[in-house]
Structure 1
Amino acid sequence: MLLRIKVVLFSLFALLSVGFSQSLMNAFGIGSPASNFDAASMGTSPMSLLPSFQEGVSISNPVTWSQLHYTYLTGTYGGQQSEIQSGSIKNGRTYLQQIQLIIPIKKKYAFGLSIAPNTNRLYSIIGVENLVDDGIYGDSLTVRKSVSGYGGIASLKPSVAFPLTSLESMAITINYLFGSSRGITSISIDGTDYIQKEQDIYSGTIMKLFFHSKRLNYKDYGIGFYLSLERALKPLSVNRISHQPFEDNNESGNHDGSYYSDFPDLSLIPDAIQSNSIGEIDPFEIQVGLDVNIRPRLHILSEGSHWYDRGDNGHTVSVLNDKIVSLDQISFGLALFSRRLPSQILNQFHYRGGFFAKQYTLYHK
């Protein structure tokens, strides 16, 4: 089954705290992939491969950073609303998208360092109440199951860019993934909650290569070709700590002691069970884009990407026993950049517009 998701996004430059709201997509696999947009890309494409910050520069593509005139420190805070195809489930969230330092060197080289969320695992799924025969006294029990979780994966990304020829350049980004999330499973029987808590710890390393060529042209149109490839140097591993279930008599949601203490007593709790490498995520991604300069300052931008997970057991870390195995994206945009030294106020602004589409595929559907 394919889940088609309509996404409405906005971004603002800001250095603000992070906040997430709940989404069903966050419960699949290691969570919903975060969209690490820079604000300038929002008018044209979600992939941020093509120049949109200014003419010839994308904040999210290190191969273009050598065209910057100054060192930049940027932060992006944004929001997203998603709707599952049936229209019956809508979710929104706001989040810190990226904090980034970029240092151009002699118009040829560049270095950058950024930190951004990689996936989000904030979710809450509450089942319907069911009447179950107790099998002994002929009574009916009211039973309801719910699952929830929070946390996610962050990424630290150093990048370096350098020229290959006078018309080609290249950049390398190493993405260090780290983080943790917590999951809570609760079964309510006639108003009494029985709770089990788990903690997942993540680690992995991903390399991404960027390539840019100015060799292409058509008539008087300059064409910039952009390519990026991503693969895992160390697949993302998931280690899990499972705590013993308990009866939440005082309705605190935590296993604690009080006058009406939870069961079993804190002194009788067995040690938590640690399971190493219960799941593994091995991503591969290719992105391709064209930047066509049709008039001075006016560019047509088009790009597409395909991401998929080559790991075979990542679904096992999900409360839904499923995961996102592929994500396809395509976009088309138009950008009119400002003049270098504008004399009129209207020429001091960048104008951008475009559309994009995303399609997710799940492991079991």
Structure 2
Amino acid sequence: METSRYQQTRFIVLWGGLKNILLAGLKIIFGIIGHSHGLLADGVHSLSDLIVDSVVIVASKFSNKAADEDHPYGHGRIETAATVFLALILAFAAFAIIINAFITIAAVHINTVPTQIVLWIALSSIALNELLYFWTKQVANQIKSRLLMTNAWHHRSDSFSSIAVALGVIGTWFGFPKLDAIAAIIVGLMILKMAWDFGWHSIRELVDTALNIEETEKIKLFIKDIPGVKAIHQLRTRSIAGSIFCDVHVLVDPSISVSEGHYIGQEVDKRLIASFPDITDVTVHIDTEDDELINPSYNLPGRNTLQKILKKHWQNLLPETAIETAVFHYLDGKITIELKLPMEFSHQTDLETKLKEITATESFITDIKIFYYK
């Protein structure tokens, strides 16, 4: 999956790189020949886009590496960080377009009139950039890559830039030499808005911002409908390069076995991933009581300590193996003990009474249940 994702990204970005090389050469050459400062500047812009393409390929290669010991959650953050970098480049390009447009508006004289070839090059640039925009956007949606989606919009920003050049040429021909500058300001603001959207979303992802309320609620309701789940709490979500990671505490019946509780946890994991394509990793914590705000069993003794207490009180009543195999239920800050004894112990009519005398001195023990077997 990771290899296929990288291969698709590299393929589409290499085509984008070839487009940038072709357009950069044509724009720079014909910008000089055709007396168009706008086309010349657009050519330099296309040349700089090769840096962007290189960043996308490198970031995609490393972000799609499988998880390892040092990166148990994978390397997806590289893609997210690269998306922030591309958003900054988009913002820089937008400011450059806007500043250049104001300089053009402030200029008093227009010394040269662009030739017809400048318009044809600009129109060709628009067509090629739009083709790459839709193609890259389609692949980005397929592999759920925000990095590639940002690159798609970079193609569109190049298209907008060429639109401004084309309008400038036409405006100059019809006596409106400032038309391209006005269009460029509008285009620059649009690109700036795109840069903000992509950059802000990726920054939120870098700081582990949770999914929105609607998506989180949808996941909560889905988990609650899974058989064996009584309630949930502490659902935490985060996104990494288009994948969603979930942590959740699931409340189950405290009387079931550990293995059944584990099975319910596996069902939550399996069903979430099957029903929500973007969820790729689920960590389920099984709870027997709601400990979100307080841990009622925090001060209770652990198994080793408890066994020592029981052996001290019951050494003359039970064999040591019965105590060592006892089942302890921790619930509501108290402990219930289950004992499994051979059938011959059932003849001791006062055994249960003697065992329960421990509750007088060990107040955290609330009940003792005895099960006999043959």
TM over 0.5: no
TM-score range, shorter chain: under 0.3
Structure label with greater radius of gyration: 2
More strand by share: 1
More helix by share: 2
Give the TM-score of the pair, scaled to structure 2: 0.19
Q: Higher relative contact order at CA 8 Å, sep ≥6: structure 1 or structure 2?
A: 1
Give the TM-score of the pair, scaled to structure 1: 0.19
